[in-house]
Amino acid sequence: MSPDLDEEILIEDEDGNEAPEVIEIVAPVKKINYLNNKDMLKEIHRSKNSFCEYIDPKYSDYDVIVENLQEIFLPEVQEKGKIARAARIAATAYEAALAAKPNASKADKPKLSEFKIKPDTLSVDDLVFRVLTFDHIPLMPGRKKNPKSEADKYVKLNFYPFKHFIIDPTDGKEKEVGRSHSKAGKFNLERGSITNKLAKMFILMVNKYAQRGNWRGYTYLDEMKGQALLQLAQMGLQFDEYKSDNPFSYYTASVSNSFTRVLNLEKKNQDLRDDLLIDSGASPSFSRQLAVEEEIRRLREDAQDSAKDEH
């Protein structure tokens, strides 16, 4: 019998008769990983795709990211793309097989190794290259007084622009199959949005972070959470898959900075209120009183230490 079901165990009494006794066996609760980099990367990709335009939906998934168009012809880049594409095809087939057998036993469940394919069997013509470029983004002179990067010279974007290319099998040259921030062939910033799932991830991340012991006791915790969510909504898609595959760390740093910013602002406002209360002859906040008492105690101890040294 499965260990997560109630088992009926027969126990004999003093007269030798069987006395049924039901013992409830509770199955251990499996830990659920609510946030992970794999799911975050998938939702970031889906969100960015909502701002993009492709000649065919099959070109929306890229295999490798490069900074220069000429890099797509390098053998090492193509090999990297084949490896990534083979892994994605295998993972997609594996997930589909799992979904088809939701109640299968452990022995009957499909294994990832059954769906693996060799990268060498893939053709270069099948690869999709994401090229980071501002070629299709309008210039905006004067947006920054002293431009420090290439992005400062163009219209402000919600994420780094790119184009998708394939190598045309007919002539072996590059062929553009998609671009970001585009609608009907024209530059557009308003057509897309982050996915509902990514938004829920942001909310869950902020709520989990707010439960930490060093934050949960503040009375202005809601302001911290609101500022963190606003920050994530504004810069959530600025995560660069070319530089990192760890969006969880990137977003956690953003949330931490938002919480700290609100904390410093509230401390500054509290100090100002305390100064006004003291000037008007009223008692300051309890925290200011404690700070003053601590400062007096420290000065007293320093004076006593100095007196001992003199003797």
Instruction: Say how far apart CA 93 and CA 115 lie, in whole Å.
Output: 7
In single-letter form, the type of residue at position 164 comes to H
Fill in the DSSP letter of residue 69: G
For the chain, the average pLDDT equals: 86
The pLDDT assigned to 1 comes to: 47
Q: Residues with Cβ < 8 Å from 172, sequence gap 6 or more?
A: none
Q: How confident is the model at residue 4 (pLDDT cuts 50, 70, 90)?
A: very low
Q: Are 204 and 35 in contact (CB under 8 A)?
A: yes
Please state the domain extents for the chain.
51-187, 196-279
Measured on CA atoms in the order 243, 36, 56, 72, is the torsion positive or negative? positive
pTM beyond 0.85: the answer is: no
In eight-state DSSP terms, residue 153 is: G
Q: Rounded mean pLDDT of 88-94?
A: 91
**44 pLDDT more than 70:** yes
Mean pLDDT, rounded, for 251-255: 95
The sheet with strand 64-66 has its strands ordered as 52-54, 174-180, 162-167, 129-132, 64-66
Question: Which residues are registered as beta bridge partners of 154?
Answer: 139
CA 141 to chain centre: 33
- Contact criterion met (CB below 8 Å) for 66 and 72: yes
Q: Per-residue confidence at 216, pLDDT binned at 50, 70, 90?
A: confident
pLDDT tens digit sequence for 177-207: 999 999 988 999 888 999 999 999 999 999 9
What local confidence, expressed as pLDDT, does residue 287 receive? 75
pLDDT exceeding 90 applies to what percent of the chain? 56
Summarize the confidence of residues 128-154 as an average pLDDT. Answer: 91
